[in-house]
Amino acid sequence: MSLRVAGRRLAVVLTVPLLLLAACGGDDGGDGADDGATVTGEPGTGAGEFPASVEHRYGSTELAEAPERVVTLGFSDQDAVLAFGVAPIAVTDWYGDHPGATWPWAQDELGDAEPVVLNEGAFTGMQDFDYETLAELEPDLIIGLYTGMTQEEYDTLSVIAPTVASSPDYPEYGMPWQETTRMVGQILGQGDRAEELIAEVDRQFAEAAAANPAFEGVEMAVTELFEPGSSFVRSATDPRTVFMTQLGFVLPDDLAALAGDLDGAPVSDELMTQLDRDLLVWNIGHEPDLREQVEAKPLYDQLEVVRDGRVLFIEDPLVSGALTWSTVLSLPYALEQLVPQLASVVGGA
């Protein structure tokens, strides 16, 4: 099953008057909106300074006071919010079948909260905003960073609650984890805490790179398998590639050009030699059985990188998930697990 998030289904567009009516419909306090999760994390960790504001691709969003009902629409946005001691009342399901659509590395931050899971069980990575359900939840902040949110979708969501979209400085699904953390920290009134979190994870990357100088300058490709007859190579801005480049690895310019501003690009089996670099990483933990299909491709055994044993299959679902999510909460686990594996393949500490 593809984890690619470049495509998305068209959401059912509701008119603004209907949304306003739906948003006001929960004032009787009978059910639904009041059954969501609590919104503060561990005592004292969710406090911020307000008013708070943040700039994004569709303008500026400001909050006069701390939000108490936060909804995350991005496929991995819950991690960034949880990192600040705030538990969303609703999160978006991506993949993995974990409680509250929250992976193990973030369960401690989630605590006893039980958020509503949007898109539960739907095809992972397919954006589909359910405006009516969102209005019924009565949020006071909507965060949609790891999405492909359009201007029209933003305008509709903003009728329901103040909404934060991704940064205009990066392509859709290409915003670095540092910027995601920073933007969430700003709107939650915890800008200083955001910089602390970023600095700590950056320190871990720097230490791993310093301990493994053999990583520096090694040309690599992070690849996955979705459709028969091709491989999918991740782009320069995709979080999986960024993880590697932050360790010192390099994505060759010709591979970067294949995807441009998208999250990746297909490489047909007939052109598989394009993947013949110093290191080939297969991120297949979402479906480990894919390894047999990769190794059965006609040109696979002819690749020099394969003959030299410089291939890393990431087959563990949790490790693969930590890399795929690449959030401020998942990255420490990804580093702990993957750096030794990379060092074993290409040399290092």
Task: For residue 271, give the CATH number of its domain.
Answer: 3.40.50.1980
Can you tell me the distance from the alpha carbon of 72 to that of 149, in angstroms, rounded to the nearest whole number?
Answer: 12
The verdict on residue 26 lying in a domain is yes
Is residue 45 located within the same domain as residue 192? Answer: yes
Whether residues 53 and 114 fall in one domain: yes
Residue 289 has what pLDDT? 87
Q: Dump pLDDT digits (tens) for 335-348.
A: 999 999 999 999 86
In a domain, 237, yes or no: yes
User: Going by C-beta distance under 8 Å and a sequence separation of 6 or more, which residues neighbour residue 180?
Assistant: 77, 80, 145, 146, 327, 328
SS3 87: coil
- HSE-CB at 40 with a 13 A cutoff on CA atoms is 9
Q: pLDDT digit string (tens) for 163-179?
A: 999 999 999 899 999 99
Same domain, 104 and 193: yes
Residue 44 backbone zone (phi > 0: left; psi -120 to 50: alpha; other: beta): left
**pLDDT the model gives residue 26:** 37
Clarify whether residues 277 and 146 are in a common domain: no
Given 173, 202, 231, the domain boundary residue is 202
Report whether 244 contacts 219 (CB < 8 A): no
CA distance 304 to 132: 54
Where among 179, 202, 225 does a domain terminate?
202
Which positions of the chain have pLDDT values less than 50?
1-45
Please say which residue of 151, 170, 202 terminates a domain: 202
* 34 lies in some domain: yes
Q: Are residues 287 and 341 in the same domain?
A: yes
Question: Quick check: bond before 88 cis, omega within 30?
Answer: no
The bridge status of strand 220-224 relative to strand 230-234 is: antiparallel
Q: Is residue 66 part of a domain?
A: yes
108 and 189 belong to one structural domain: yes
**Do 217 and 154 fall into the same domain?**
no
- The verdict on residue 254 lying in a domain is yes
Residue 2 lies in a domain: no
Are 170 and 69 found together in one domain? yes
* Residue 41: per-residue pLDDT: 33
Cα diameter, the chain: 67
pTM above 0.85, yes or no: yes
Domain count, the chain: 2
Residue type at 237? T
300: in domain:
yes
3-state secondary structure of 65: coil
Distant-in-sequence, close-in-space partners of 144: CB < 8 Å, separation ≥ 6: 72, 73, 74, 77, 154, 157, 163, 164, 165, 166
Q: Is 4 part of a structural domain of the chain?
A: no
Q: Do both 151 and 281 map to the same domain?
A: no
Residues 41 and 131 in one domain: yes
For residues 128 and 113, give the distance between their C-alpha atoms in angstroms, rounded to a whole number: 24
Task: Quote the domain boundaries for residue 301.
Answer: 212-346
Are 216 and 67 contained in the same domain?
no
247 and 168 within one domain: no
